[in-house]
A and B are shown apart, each in its own frame.
Chain A
């Protein structure tokens, strides 16, 4: 068995007294695309930043390519960390405003001291192949369109020769046709360069289309994870179900089943007792308010953190 591209074990991220991510574990296999889905404020971006090395873990362990970062010396840690590249939510602001597109794309090579005529030619060819022609090289970031800025950021990430790309809302702010192009581009790059993706989004249409597996986050924890097909067809956790039902669909038959959650996302400053979702859960019972459910693996291979995960129990509660 080959080593996992990335594994995160029992990660806790605190900002002062607030716990944004509480005991989260993720595994990313080589060549796969894992979706991380959740509402705004659930800790998705904190996870992305921690994996990219921008946010220290308060506790937990991050391993890249099977090698734990915790025990490694600083130089090795930087090399490992470079294998993870982050596509920022707002790509335009992730580009240094005083550098030209050409200089921005050469930057990763210069940082790794591998800049040469050949290495630059490779990057320029890559840029050209995804529609960033030579005429763009002397431009500055503020002269780029949203799609162009995203592609420049992508070229920079690829130039660092990563094995993992963390994409934080990569389709936000793009119109549908550009979104489609970008997703196809990401997929073809993955196959060509054997990349693994951690794909962070709240856009379920996109996640359903591009990911192999999905993990659903709620208030800093994973409530359900499994293969995308399983999870989208038979969600086991009531939160997953609610999320999927809220997704806009043209299927009029499914529209009627919409589950509207009560209340708002609780504050991570004071997470609810027991199951964090119980206050908004349509099937919550007494035990949910007192005992926190563990993330358990079901017979079909997916993992769910719910006291009443099965479809039957869920439907019973809904109808009865």
Chain B
């Protein structure tokens, strides 16, 4: 896999690949590797320090922190990947449609993108969740809306740059229908930078989910998310620092890993460097 090797050679690329792989494996294999059930309460062992029995200690209900963090990775990845998938598909569709539509349609779509982008993503997500009510489903849906313009704008800009290029015109001269040009010639040529953007947005989504869960608007207890764990840890910070520390570290590892992976991908996919692929 020369592409992966290229990524690994970038600064931070090796670490990024390692961190992302570990997080994905942990999320997939959670039931196999977690030493305890994530919601197994043991009132006798509240707020314990790390030990051989509980490698990262226990929380205020005696639940194993390591197990809860391991299960928390599923929430983080699940939310991030579904949000990115939804907003990428919707954004790219809208972006291409805007670029190829009459001016009035284009302006309206771009206008909506601008309005959504005008708000800081965290604040907008917070406001929307506050209106529609907490819960993981709502979080995924509403954060997706916040991220649609990210992909929409890049897709639109790329399509505008592409729509009058000779090879697109050549397809039209051959008599290709619109959908064929879009699916076979526009999309493959704009999707590279969009995948990079998606990778760089994953940590942002993870942070927003954590933030919302921290504020009690995301996952419902007893489900563990890194954000809600951070909140629990923060509440009992004076009795035990371990929960806050480790859930914060998990968050840092994930965001750093995905962000560096995105940057390494961007560098690797740069057209000037692509020849070596």
Which residues of A come within 8 Å of B, CB atoms?
52-54, 78-79, 81-82, 84-86, 88, 90, 93-98, 107-108, 111-112, 153, 156, 160
Contacts and interface: CB of A to CB of B under 8 A. Distances in A.
A135 B140 CA distance: 49
Given A88-B166, A93-B165, A111-B180, A53 B172 contact: yes
B167 A85 contact: no
A160 B174 contact: yes
A156 B169 contact: no
A160 B175 CA distance: 9
Interface string B195-216: 0000000000000000000000
Nearest to B167: A96
A111 B167 contact: no
B176 A111 contact: yes
A307 to B, nearest CB: 39
Interface string B157-184: 0000000011101111111110010001
B189 A98 contact: yes
Contact of A97 (B173, B174, B189): B189
A281 B18 CA distance: 75
Contacts of B176: 107, 111
17 contacts: A53-B173, A54-B172, A54-B173, A79-B175, A81-B173, A82-B174, A86-B170, A88-B170, A94-B169, A96-B167, A96-B171, A96-B185, A96-B189, A97-B189, A108-B175, A156-B174, A160-B174
B175 A95 contact: no
A144 B236 CA distance: 67
Interface of B: 165-167, 169-177, 180, 184-185, 188-189
A98 B190 CA distance: 11
Nearest to A142: B275
Contact of B167 (A84, A94, A108, A112): A94
B175 A94 contact: no
A95 B173 CA distance: 12
B189 A85 contact: no
Contacts of A86: 170, 173
Given A98-B188, A111-B180, A93 B174 contact: no
The 4 closest A-B pairs by CB, nearest first: A94-B170, A82-B175, A94-B166, A93-B166
Contacts of B173: 52-54, 81, 84-86
A255 to B, nearest CB: 38
A90 B165 CA distance: 11
A97 B185 CA distance: 9
Contacts of B177: 111
Given A88-B166, A93-B166, A111 B172 contact: no
A107 B171 contact: yes
Nearest to A83: B175
Given A82-B175, A111-B174, A111-B180, A54 B189 contact: no
Nearest to B192: A98
Most A C-beta atoms less than 10 A away, residue of B167, B170, B172: B170
B123 to A, nearest CB: 39
Nearest to A96: B167
Contacts of A153: 170
A107 B170 CA distance: 11
Contacts of A108: 174-175
A97 B167 contact: yes
Nearest to B185: A96
Nearest to B168: A96
A316 B181 CA distance: 58
A274 to B, nearest CB: 36
B185 to A, nearest CB: 5
A200 to B, nearest CB: 15
Contacts of A78: 175
A94 B166 CA distance: 5
A85 B166 contact: no
A292 B53 CA distance: 100
